Copies of this chain bind each other. A is one copy, B any other.
Amino acid sequence: MTSQPLHRLRVLFLAALLVLGGCATIQPDPLPSWSDGPARQAIVDFVRQTTDSASPQFVPPDRRIATFDQDGTLWVEQPMYTQVMFALERVRDIVRAQPALAGEEPFRAVVAGDREAMAKFTERDIFKIVAVTESGLTVDAFAEVVRRWLATAKHPKFQRPYTELVYAPMQEAMKYLRANGYRTYIVTGGGQQFVRAFAEQVYGIPPEQVVGTMFRINYETRDGRPALVTAPELFFLNDKGGKPVGINMVLGRRPQAAFGNSDGDQQMLEYATAGDGARLAMIVLHDDADREFAYGPAAGLPESKVGTFTQALYDEAKKKGWTVISMKRDWKRVFAFEK
């Protein structure tokens, strides 16, 4: 009978161990930068429904694909897309190396800082400026140029590197999805080679999970070695209806979840949500002039040069049950550098 109290002690000790063990596995909040509300809830519900094997909405791991637009969805796109900022700054170096370009528009206007001429740039002008920064370079050399620029360039408003202007809540959402077996893809209207240069370091997204706009690339010989060299010719525009096509080209599956912020993303969201079972579609609304920027008709503001979130898209989102993410209301913090 003397062993009875000892036995009890042992049981209590083991129970305590189990509890402690249980405590040790309690996860910290995976979405600390999100306020409680419908946006956060939509993500949590979607993950629970699609990863619980007892759920009728269960999605097998190989089909767990989430696609993210980049500019305005994962990082700041104002006052201009980062790749265009990069191109405008690079043009000076390029004109120095190729003086023949100095008298040629649109390069002359950029080098001269002719704001009046630059304000009138057409899409074709912008394309020429972006193309000249990449064309003639091997894909490896271009990636190096991008990385060197990102290491020193600063955003005009925030005076911080562009790679710090990534939205903390979206980083958390990507990590949370990945922790639940989702593969996260960037599907951007920006250049595939531009985004691949930093996507792994900044987002943890490897090159094979970056779908973007493509220049024509040719297989050539450089210094006696085979090389992939970019030509100044658009090969594939990964925007609007191009996004589902680009997704099919690179990954060949319909995404289960898609995140965007403009009418360039509408078709990707349509395509993702047209599949069976639980689907998640989310659109970032830039309504926070204090912490980031406020722009676009859906925020009750004039049409913006980038990231067009029209009233029609807002109405469509409401009709289809897509979740609009209000930066102001749904995000406790926008950037990781905030306290």
Chain A: residues with CB nearer than 8 A to chain B? 62, 139, 192, 196, 206-208, 210, 214, 217-219, 225-226, 228, 241-242, 244-245, 248-253, 267, 270-271, 274
Contact = CB atoms under 8 A, between A and B. Distances in A.
B226 A270 contact: yes
Contacts of A219: 241-242, 244-245, 267, 271
**Identical chains in the assembly:** 2
Contacts of A218: 241, 245
B226 A244 contact: yes
What are the nearest 8 A-B pairs in CB distance? A207-B252, A219-B241, A208-B251, A226-B270, A219-B244, A226-B274, A217-B245, A226-B271
A248 B267 contact: no
A241 B216 CA distance: 13
B206 A62 contact: yes
Given A62-B206, A192-B249, A208-B253, 20 more contacts: A192-B252, A206-B252, A207-B252, A208-B252, A210-B252, A217-B248, A218-B241, A219-B242, A219-B244, A219-B267, A225-B274, A226-B267, A226-B270, A226-B271, A226-B274, A228-B244, A228-B245, A228-B248, A228-B271, A249-B249
Nearest to A62: B206
A249 B206 contact: no
Contacts of A192: 249, 252
17 contacts: A139-B248, A196-B252, A206-B252, A207-B251, A207-B253, A208-B251, A208-B252, A210-B252, A217-B248, A219-B241, A219-B242, A219-B267, A219-B271, A226-B267, A226-B270, A228-B271, A249-B250
Contacts of A245: 217-219, 228
A248 B251 CA distance: 13
A237 to B, nearest CB: 12
A205 to B, nearest CB: 11
A206 B139 CA distance: 26
A63 to B, nearest CB: 10
Contacts of A251: 207-208
Nearest to A183: B208
A250 B250 contact: yes
A245 B218 CA distance: 7
Interface centre among A214, A217, A219 (most CB of B within 10 A): A219
Given A226-B274, A245-B228, A267-B219, A250 B208 contact: yes
Nearest to A267: B219
Nearest to A224: B274
A210 B253 CA distance: 12
A217 B248 CA distance: 9
A280 to B, nearest CB: 17
A35 B226 CA distance: 33
A218 B207 CA distance: 24
Contacts of A225: 274
